[in-house]
Amino acid sequence: MRTQVAIIGAGPSGLLLGQLLHKAGIAAIVLERQTGDYVLTRIRAGILEQVCIDLMDEAGVGTRMHKEGLVHGGFDMLFKGERHRIDMNKLTGGKNVMVYGQTELTKDLMDARAAAGLTTVYEAANVQVHDFDSKNPRVTYEKDGKTHEIQCDFIAGCDGFHGVCRASAPRSAIREYEKVDPFGWLGLLSDTPPVHEELIYANSSRGFALCSMRSETRSRYYLQVPLTDKVEEWSDEAFWQELRLRLDPEAREQLVTGPSIEKSIAPLRSFVTEPLRFGRMFLAGDAGHIVPPTGAKGLNLAATDVKYLFNGLVEYYQDKSEAGIDRYSELALKRIWRAERFSWWFTSLMHRFPNEGEIAQKFQEAELDYLIHSEAGSRSIAENYVGLPLDFGH
């Protein structure tokens, strides 16, 4: 079988790239090791930056997002028992974010791909990438007891943090930067009305908490927990009890609890691969980098990697120029490191770090107090949270 671009991974990165390429008349096949249903069971991101929203529109899959997504112009920071609103819309000259779950975004992309009759091979086992340092890269995989081969011009490694593409890059050609945080996030999804109309990020002496949502009837909550915790050790009641202890009196009063429909613990890490290109194989999304979810950047970074890579591939096929694909890694990494820095900073500001003593909490509260009462400080948070423009240049 032959195609122009072989995309490994049917998460948001792979599916968004496939959809953009299709609209540009560039052929691509998506290979995914799981089933589509399994991909949709993973509860992940919830916040879309404007650049991601625009890309969904460019891919022609934004209808349900605009109908069901919730536009948010701000969020609350809770510390020392008091909430303070960051008015992103005012501080950024009118920018907002949208609450629209990654599950829904992925479903929209899956449905569009199926409706266009495009090939996605689910349950593709033992995917391997070959000869990506030549002009004739190949991908092999196993399905229904047979080994299949795809010849292509390019391989897009959209296969996430545990994928095969980054692992296949020559060790001598790759540099990996990593910082693992000494805690995780215990997430709970429930069909209960959100505790507040916008998100609440809480810095409490007991640990970080986040009150988010997926709609006006479905809530998403997170608690910072030790890495040694196991999700089965957390009953729903224990979760709600701990969340109450980390909230302010008003939110505690407003909180509507109910049975969890999903509960999981995610580790927090900062991770970046340099470069993001190995011959004719490119890494995009979590395959190339991971951010702690505090800044809601993971999914949005994946979307902008895809846009930069898509632009380069269009330039290659339509203008016969390699300038775009040559520039991909440098362009994407510039934006990636900005988001990594914000996500690390926000995580450091809001979480309890072991062995740092009570003085660390006092430092955090003093910084939060400064930021909330400084227009420059609040604007810095707002600008980073709504996301940098695609072509932010400097």
Of these residues, 12, 72, 141, 222, which one is catalytic?
72
Positions 98 through 117 that interact with ligand FAS (CB under 6 A):
102
| Of positions 7, 17, 28, 32, contacts ligand FAS by CB under 6 A | 32
| DSSP letter for each residue of 16-83 | HHHHHHHHTT--EEEE-SS-HHHHHH-----EE-HHHHHHHHHTT--HHHHHH-EEES-EEEEETTEE
Q: How far apart are alpha carbons 10 and 118 in whole angstroms? A: 12
DSSP state of 360: H
Instruction: Give the residue among 130, 201, 198 at the shortest CA–CA distance from 168.
Output: 130
389 is catalytic: no
The residue among 11 and 293 lying less far from ligand PHB, judged by its C-beta, is 293
Q: Which stretch binds ligand PHB (CB under 6 A): 40-48, 145-153, 318-326, 357-365?
A: 40-48
CB of 231 to ligand FAS, least distance (A): 11
Which of helix, strand or coil describes residue 131?
A: coil
**Residue 50 binding ligand FAS, by CB under 6 A:** no
- Minimum distance, C-beta of residue 116 to ligand FAS, in the bound complex (Å): 19
CA distance 8 to 161: 12
Residues 134-163 close enough to bind ligand PHB by CB under 6 A: none
The CA-atom distances, in angstroms, between 131 and each of 127, 136, 166, 170 are 14, 7, 14, 12
Binding segment (CB under 6 A) for ligand FAS, from list 57-65, 237-245, 294-302, 365-373: 294-302
Point out which residues pair with 223 in neighbouring strands: 186, 209
Q: Which of 3, 13, 190, 212 binds ligand PHB (CB under 6 A)?
A: 212
User: Is the distance from CB of 12 to CB of 106 less than 8 angstroms?
Assistant: yes
Q: How far is the CB of 320 from ligand FAS (least distance, A)?
A: 29
Residues 69-88 that bind ligand FAS (CB under 6 A): none
Q: Is 6 exposed, middle or buried (0-12, 13-18, 19+ CB in 10 A)?
A: buried
Instruction: Give the SS3 label for residue 353.
Output: coil
By the rule CB under 6 A, 302 interacts with ligand FAS: yes
Which of the residues 196, 263, 293, 308 is marked catalytic? 293
Choose the stretch contacting ligand FAS; rule: CB under 6 A; options: 74-82, 159-167, 317-325, 369-377.
159-167
Residue 72 bears catalytic tag: yes
Instruction: Tell me which H or E stretch contains 178.
Output: strand 175-190
296 lies in the site for ligand FAS, by CB under 6 A = yes
Write out the two tokens for 135: 């002009």
Does 220 contact ligand PHB by CB under 6 A?
yes
Is residue 297 within the footprint of ligand FAS (CB under 6 A)?
Answer: yes
CA dihedral (69, 297, 109, 38) positive or negative: negative
Residue 382 binding partner per list ligand PHB, ligand FAS, none, with a CB distance cut-off of 5 to 8 Å that depends on partner kind? none
State how far the Cα of 80 lies from the Cα of 246, in Å rounded to an integer. 10
Q: Catalytic: 316?
A: no
The reply to whether 343 sits near ligand PHB by the rule CB under 6 A is: no
Contact flags string 119-148 toward ligand FAS, x per CB under 6 A = -----x--x---------------------
Q: Which residues bind ligand PHB (CB under 6 A)?
A: 45-47, 199, 210, 212, 220, 293-296
Active-site residue set: 72, 201, 293, 297, 385
